[in-house]
Every structure is written in structure tokens, then in C-alpha cells.
Structure 1
Amino acid sequence: MATMVTFHAHPDDECIACGGVMRKAFEEGHRVVLVVATRGEHGEVPEGFLAEGEELWQRRVVETEAAAEILGVARTEFLGYVDSGMMGEATNDAPGSFWTASVEEAAEKLAAILREENADVLTCYDDNGGYGHPDHIQVHRVGMRAAELAGTPRVYQNTMNRDHLQRGMAAFAAQAEAAGLEVPDLNGGDEVGKPESVLTARVDVTAYNDHKRRAMRAHASQITEESFFLSMSEEPFSVAFGIEWFIREGQGPGITETDLFAGL
């Protein structure tokens, strides 16, 4: 049995980005540890959704625990930083925000968990955080440094395959439009994911699509039934989420790995 620590910025990021490899690892007998930098304090929530006196972060912690159970997580930890909001917002520079945190300090917090778990694998994000969110970029910086401090042997930078996404969007855009659903623009050039040529790991997680969707559904404050994630039918969902992509330094060029635990 090996141990994977998967590091994310906010509640719900885990199921969207790595839900498949998390459940796959659990099914194969590995230990899965989830670490979340913030409690997602600045997420948007419909009016009247929360109970009287309930804070959004409280609901999102409960949702994370429910999603973690679906994905086979053995341990969940929050580093205690505050959601920084989208890039350019005043919340980026608020006291306690993850974006303003000392990388060294935050990395030591994560490294302590890596050491406790004797982690074999760490997942974080690519250097642009997938799409430029400040907390996601900070996950990359903190994750890479924490792995250095703890001596974690394998670090996979989770990302999106920009070329695959653009091909897939064309496959179901017409279907979504006919159903009256909003299709997000994923053709953001250098702002979304990484080009196929720099990716080194491709993990087929289509067998766990149901777990990913159920975990997304557990984050009801952020992912509604009408959302892009849950409203699409099985085929486009599989195109969008059935493969999880990673970069590992020292691998490549091209895809050289299809299993984060191979050889462990």
C-alpha cells in the first residue's frame, strides 16, 4: 500500500480535479489524504441556502467531508488560510488570505502532513493553477516546496489538457445549447490548462465517473443540479472529466505514465 496526499485550494476542487485518481487509489488499496488550503469563504451561494446563523465556510467543510467519504479519503485536513477570491479582487490582499501567506510557512504545514503520512505521492496544480486563480497558483508554489522539505518522491502537477478540452467542447456544445444550458468558454488560450505537448501523465478514470459526479453533488452550495458539471449527459461528462492529466518533472516528452502509483 502506498499513500497519496492530494492538495487543493478550496472545497470542491478535489472532486473536479482529482476525484478520479483519488477513488482509483482507494479502490486499489492505497491510502488517500486530502489537504485543503482554505475553507472557500468567498464562494457564491444562493440566497436562503444557508441556515440562520450558518457561515458558508461551515457548510463547505461539511460538504468536503461528505465528498471525501465518496472518494475514499482516509484523512482530511484544512491548512486554515482564507479564500483569496478571484485574481484582482480586494480579497487577494486581505489578512490571512492564502495568496498573501508565506510560501515557506505554508509549505512547512503541508510538509508536516507529508512526513506524518510518509507520503509516496503528492498532487498539486500546475504553475498557473489551471486557470490563473491566485489560490491555485499558491497551491503549486506551496506544494512543490513542501515536497522538497519532506522529500516526497513523486509530485504530480494536476492540470487540464487544453487541446483535449477544446476538442471535447465542440463535441457537446450543440447539445448543451439545444437544452438551454450555459456552456463555459474553455477556449481561453494560455489561461486554461496546458498544451498536450507538455503533459506527462494521463489517467483514465472513466470507471469512477459516478463517484466524481456524486462527490460534486455533495458540494451543493457551489455545484447545483443546473450547473455545467452536473447537467451534462454521460458522454460529454466523460469527455470533460473521464481523463485526469498531470505533469511530473523529469518525465516526458509526451505521456510516459498512466498510473500515479506504478512501481510503488
Structure 2
Amino acid sequence: MATLVTFHAHPDDECINTGGVMRKAADEGHRVVLVVATRGEVGEVPDGFLAEGEQLWQRRVEEQHAAADVLGVKRVEFLGYRDSGMMGEPTNDEPGTFWTASVEEAAQKLAAILREESADVLTVYDDNGGYGHPDHIQVHRVGVRAAELAGTPRVYQATGNSDHMRRGIEAAVEQGMMKAEDLPDFDEGTTYGKPEAELTGAVDVTAYLGHKRAAMRAHASQISEESFFLAMPEEGFAHAFGTEWFIREGQGPGITETDLMAGL
């Protein structure tokens, strides 16, 4: 058996991007470790959601541990940086944010965990962080460097299949499963994921969609029942989240891997 370490920017990112491969690895007897760069301090919640005196980061840490239990995680670690907020926000450059952190310093912190765990596999994000969020981009930079420092043999960049996503949205609207006005606000020019031709890994996680939904629900401060993620019908959810997509340097062209833990 082997050890999978998944590195994410904020609580709730893990269930959306890699929740299926995490639970799959756990069910197959592998050790799963989750490392989160920030505590998600800049997330938004409705008025009255938090208890009097409760800080958002406290709630998000609790939610992260609950979701991790659903996904079979054996260890959760936070690197201690502050949420930078969306790209272009004033919070990006505040002291202590992950975006302003030294890549080398942060990589040393993550590499220490990779060495402790004798990690066989590490997941990070693609070079655009999936959709341009500064903390996600930094996860890519820090994660790739940490793997070099620790000698972690397999590094997978979790991403989205932009062609698959576009096809699913068009089909959902055409079939009346979704209304155009209910779809996420995809700002013009914003890139989500990578083109299908650039992907090298596709893992079928349909058997773990129940775990992904449950993990999302554990992050109630950020993912409400009315959200795009949980409000979509099962067929739409399966299309959107039933496959998790990756890029691994040295693989391809095309999809050459369907299991991150194969052979381990």
C-alpha cells in the first residue's frame, strides 16, 4: 500500500477537485493525507450563520475535518497561511497571505510532510490554479517545488476538462435540466481547467459520488443546499464530478492513466 498526499488552497477545495480519488485510495487501503495552505478566512457566509464570537476560519477548520472523515483522510495539516481572496482583491497583498509567501519557504513546509509520510503520490493544481485564483496558482508552484525537494515520485496536477464542462453545460441547458441564469457566473475570458488535449489522466469516480456530495455538505458555510454544486440533479452532478482530471508531466499525449495509485 502507498501514501497519497493531496495539497489544496482552502477548506472545501479537496472535495470538489480530488474527493473521488481520495476516497477511492482510502477504500483500496492506501493512506490519504490532506494538506491545506489556508483556513479560508476570506470566504463568505450569510448573516447570522456563525455563532456569536465565532470566526469564519474556526468554522471552516471544523468543516474541513468533518469532510476529511467522509473522504477517508487519516491526517489533516494546515500550513498556516492566510486566504488571499480572489485575484485582484486588496487582500491578495496583505501580510501572511499564501499569495505573498515565499515559494521556497512554503515548499519546505510541505516537503517536510511529504518526507514524514514517505509520500508516493502528490496532487496539486495546474499552473493556472484551475481558474486563476491566486492561492490555487501558488499551490501549483509550492507543490511542484516541494515534490522536488522531497523526491516525491508522482505529481498530478488536478484540473478541469474545459471541453467536457462546456459540453455538459450546453446539454443541460438544451435539455431543460438547468436554466442559463442559474449557471455559475463564468466571466468572459476566464479559463476553467485545461483543454481535453492537454490532459493525461482521467479517473472514474462515479462509485464515490455519494462521498463527494456528503463531503461538500460538510462544508456548509461555503456550499449550501441551494448552491450550483448541490442543487443540480444527479445526472448533472455525475457528468460534472464523476470523472476527476489530471496532468502528469512526462505522460501523454492523450489520457494514459486512469488510476493515480496504479502499481503501488
Q: Scaled by the length of structure 1, what TM-score is found?
A: 0.97
Q: CA deviation at 1:177?
A: 1.8
Q: Is the 8 A contact 2:177 2:233 kept in 1?
A: no
CA distance in 2, matches of 1:234, 1:106: 39
Of all paired residues, the percent bearing the same amino acid is 77
1:18 maps to which residue? 18
Q: CA deviation at 1:175?
A: 1.6
CA distance in 2, matches of 1:55, 1:176: 35
Structure 1 gap ranges (5+): none
1:86 maps to which residue? 86
Larger deviation: 164-173 or 146-155? 164-173
Q: CA deviation at 1:171?
A: 2.0
Detail structure 1 runs of 4+ shifted over 2 Å in the superposition. Answer: 185-190
Residue-by-residue CA offset, 1:107-135 (whole Å, 9 max, x unaligned): 00000000000000000000000000000
1:122 maps to which residue? 122
Q: Is the 8 A contact 2:2 2:30 kept in 1?
A: yes
Mark the CA change 1:261 to 1:13 in structure 2 (over 3 Å): closer, same or farther. same
Residue-by-residue CA offset, 1:235-263 (whole Å, 9 max, x unaligned): 00000000000000000000000000111
Q: Is the 8 A contact 1:165 1:186 kept in 2?
A: no
**SS of residue in 1 equivalent to 2:182:** coil
**SS of residue in 1 equivalent to 2:131:** coil
Aligned residues: 262
2:147 maps to which residue? 147
Return the letter of the residue paired with 2:240. A
Return the letter of the residue paired with 2:84. S
Structure 2 gap ranges (5+): none
Q: Scaled by the length of structure 2, what TM-score is found?
A: 0.97
Q: Is the 8 A contact 1:166 1:186 kept in 2?
A: no
**1:219 partnered with 2:207:** no
Q: CA deviation at 1:188?
A: 5.4
CA distance in 1, matches of 2:96, 2:187: 33
Mark the CA change 1:202 to 1:253 in structure 2 (over 3 Å): closer, same or farther. same
CA distance in 1, matches of 2:198, 2:127: 13
1:176 maps to which residue? 178
Q: Is the 8 A contact 1:129 1:139 kept in 2?
A: yes
Q: CA deviation at 1:170?
A: 1.3
Q: CA deviation at 1:185?
A: 4.3
RMSD: 1.2
Larger deviation: 184-193 or 61-70? 184-193
